[in-house]
Each structure stands twice: as structure tokens, then as C-alpha cells.
């Protein structure tokens, strides 16, 4: 059976080893190529998708042998979204910095989301699947904000994704970022230990605030270079909350340059002076152990040219 066929009848798929432990929403998105995300979540909400004859939530994880019922795709709903253009495909292909049997690592450009949705037709994962139509399995192992550049891990096997998830839960994936903060600290090291809470404004915009009722969040900062009106710092995460580095930097009184959401007028002025046109936040290094690989992984991605130029300007 062709999973991407716009069928007008009910279909049944049996879960194989490659999808063991995968969420039902990701399972459907991966197999129904071109079908809008909105359709997938709508039929899940209505109970039209069944697993072993029972209704399921989008977060339900599948197991080998599960039978998944897929409802008919109505032509009006199932018109395929045009695939990613040649230009963005080329950018992502050129951004691959490492690949082996388990992992594919991207130095993600700023301005590209990691996945489609919320008005974004294609993210990194959809572009990769378009580039590698023969790949049986490609799943994001973690996420980066759309405006953040740097290292992004993609699992090529279900077993690799599970191993990465376990390592992250155990705090054994060390993530380091480079950020340009406005202002100056007397000391070279600072730790932000402030709980964070997500809020959604009436407009639908998501904003994160420091809030005692929020989730624990810890970021360690180290000054690498002092510049005119700013500091190039390395940020090491203990936790991985939404917008964590951006909010913690602002909480310390030194927002990230180029941050329109959590910055201020002084930050905007300095960014204009340095001709900075994006958020200055880059995921530059990842360290983690790996079963069967002596020494584990140490992956690095230097600052993009446009960010290094800003550093040189403010020296």
C-alpha cells in the first residue's frame, strides 16, 4: 500500500520496528506525505484515528504490532502542500555537518524552523525527508528556536532516538551556545537559576517569563570576549526550557542582541550600530556519550559569518 496515496477509503497500517515507541501524530505526519498538519490533529481530536480500535491522543506512543486506522482523506483537505523549493533544499543539504548510521547533524541556519506548523509549510525535518525520500526513519531529537542557528540532532533510527532521549533526561547531553549580550558584568561567570513559565498572549504569541510557579531552569554563562557595549558569552544549559537562554539573559539585565521579544531599546540601538539583522544565538557545541563509540560525540559548529562580522565590528 502507498501511504501517501490520497485514498477515499479507510486504511489500516500495522506498526513495524522502525516506529516502535513513536508518537501517533509523528507516525501519521511521517507517512501521510503532503497532508496538512491541521488535518492530522483534527482527525485525532475527533477520534477518527484509532489504535487497536480505541481512540487516542496525539501523544500516544505506538508499539510493534499495533493496528492504526486512518480515516478517508477528503480531497479538499488532502491537497498536497508544494514541496520545499530547490533553494532551501540546497541550504539544508549544505548545512549537514555529520552523518553516520545513527545520526544526522545539521548546522541549522537562522530563520528556518525545525518543523512545519503555525504558518510554516516546511521545517528542517520536512526538508530532510524531501531530500532523502528513501530514508525509512528521520526524527528530530531536540529543537532549536526558528531564529537560533547551530547544531541540530536528527535520529536515523528509532533506537538512536530512544538513546538520545534517555541521555537528555539524564542530563548527559551537554549543550553549549554562543550569545552576544548587551552590557557588561564585572565577573567572568554567572549562573541564572530562575524558574520559567510559558504564557500565551491574546494575540496567540508565546512568551516566557521568570515565575516562581514555573519550571526549574538553570543556565551557566561564561564571558569569552568583552566588546564595545557587549559581551560574547558561552551559555551552558542544565535544563532545556523554551527560550531559556534568552529569558535568563534578559533577567540578568543583559539581553541578547537582536532579540526583539526579550530585548529593549538599548539592545536594538546597538544591534543597528553593528548591522545585526538576526538573533545573536548559536548552538555551537554538543557533547554526549554513545553506546559502542569510544569517547562518544563532540560536535562543533563555528559562528556563522554574519555573526562573526558583528563581533569584529564591536571589538
Asked if the model's pLDDT at residue 202 lies above 90, the reply is: no
Nearest residue to 19 (alpha-carbon basis) of 133, 159, 168, 153: 159
- Number of domains into which the chain is organized: 3
Residue 2's pLDDT is what? Answer: 43
Predicted confidence (pLDDT) per residue in 81-124, tens digit:
567 788 889 999 999 999 999 999 999 999 999 987 655 667 89
- Are residues 159 and 274 part of one domain? no
pLDDT reading at 244 higher than 70: yes
| Phi, psi dihedrals of residue 37, rounded to the nearest 5° | -60, -35
Q: Does the residue 5 lie in any domain?
A: no
Are residues 176 and 159 both part of a single domain? no
Q: Is the same domain home to 204 and 124?
A: no
Question: 1-10, 75-84, 295-304: which has the highest mean pLDDT?
Answer: 295-304
Shared domain check, 129 and 244: no
> Of 175 and 88, which is predicted with more confidence?
175
Examine residue 44 and state whether it is found in any structural domain, yes or no: yes
204 or 146: whose pLDDT is higher?
Answer: 146
> Residue 22: which CATH number?
3.10.290.10
User: Domain ends where: 104, 135, 166?
Assistant: 166
Nearest alpha-carbon partner for 75 in 133, 6, 177: 6
Question: Are residues 241 and 259 located together in one domain of the fold?
Answer: yes
State which residues form the domain around 31.
Answer: 11-78
Is 145 considered catalytic here? yes
Residue in 102, 145, 147, 259 annotated catalytic: 145
* CATH number where 214 lies: 3.30.2350.10
Of 166, 194, 214, which one is at a domain's C-terminal end? 166
Q: Which residues of 222-241 are buried (b: 16+ CB within 10 A; e: fewer)?
A: ebeeebebbbbbbbbbeeeb
- Count how many residues are written for the chain: 315
Residue 115 lies in a domain: yes
Q: How many CA atoms lie within 13 A of 243 on its CB side?
A: 22
Amino acid at each position: 500500500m502507498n501511504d501517501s496515496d490520497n485514498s477515499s477509503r479507510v486504511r489500516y497500517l500495522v506498526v513495524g520496528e522502525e516506529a516502535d515507541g513513536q508518537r501517533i501524530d509523528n507516525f501519521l505526519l511521517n507517512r501521510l506525505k503532503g497532508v496538512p498538519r491541521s488535518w492530522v490533529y483534527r482527525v485525532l481530536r475527533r477520534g477518527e484515528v484509532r489504535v487497536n480500535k480505541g481512540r487516542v491522543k496525539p501523544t500516544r506512543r505506538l508499539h510493534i504490532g499495533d493496528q492504526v486506522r486512518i480515516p478517508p482523506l477528503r480531497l479538499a483537505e488532502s491537497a498536497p502542500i508544494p514541496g520545499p523549493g530547490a533553494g532551501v533544499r540546497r541550504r539544508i543539504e549544505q548545512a549537514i555537518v555529520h552523518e553516520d548510521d545513527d545520526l544526522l547533524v545539521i548546522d541549522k541556519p537562522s530563520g528556518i524552523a525545525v518543523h512545519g506548523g503555525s504558518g510554516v509549510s516546511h521545517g528542517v525535518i520536512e526538508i530532510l525527508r524531501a531530500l532523502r525520500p528513501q530514508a525509512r526513519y528521520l526524527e528530530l531529537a531536540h529543537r532549536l528556536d526558528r531564529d537560533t542557528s547551530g547544531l541540530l540532532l536528527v535520529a536515523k533510527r528509532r533506537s538512536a532516538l530512544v538513546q538520545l532521549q534517555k541521555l537528555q533526561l539524564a542530563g548527559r547531553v551537554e549543550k553549549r551556545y554562543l550569545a552576544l549580550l548587551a552590557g557588561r558584568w564585572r565577573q567572568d561567570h554567572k549562573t541564572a537559576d530562575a524558574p520559567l513559565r510559558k504564557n500565551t498572549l491574546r494575540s496567540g504569541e508565546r512568551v516566557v517569563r521568570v515565575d516562581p510557579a514555573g519550571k526549574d531552569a538553570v543556565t551557566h554563562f561564561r564571558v569569552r570576549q568583552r566588546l564595545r557595549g557587549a559581551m560574547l558569552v558561552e551559555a551552558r544549559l542544565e535544563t532545556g526550557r523554551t527560550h531559556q537562554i534568552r529569558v535568563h539573559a534578559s533577567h540578568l539585565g543583559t539581553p541578547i542582541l537582536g532579540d526583539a521579544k526579550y530585548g529593549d531599546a538599548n539592545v536594538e540601538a546597538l544591534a543597528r550600530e553593528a548591522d545585526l539583522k538576526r538573533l545573536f544565538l548559536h548552538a555551537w557545541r554538543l557533547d554526549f556519550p554513545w553506546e559502542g563509540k569510544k569517547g562518544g560525540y563532540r560536535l562543533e559548529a563555528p559562528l556563522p559569518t554574519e555573526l562573526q562580522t558583528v563581533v569584529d565590528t564591536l571589538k
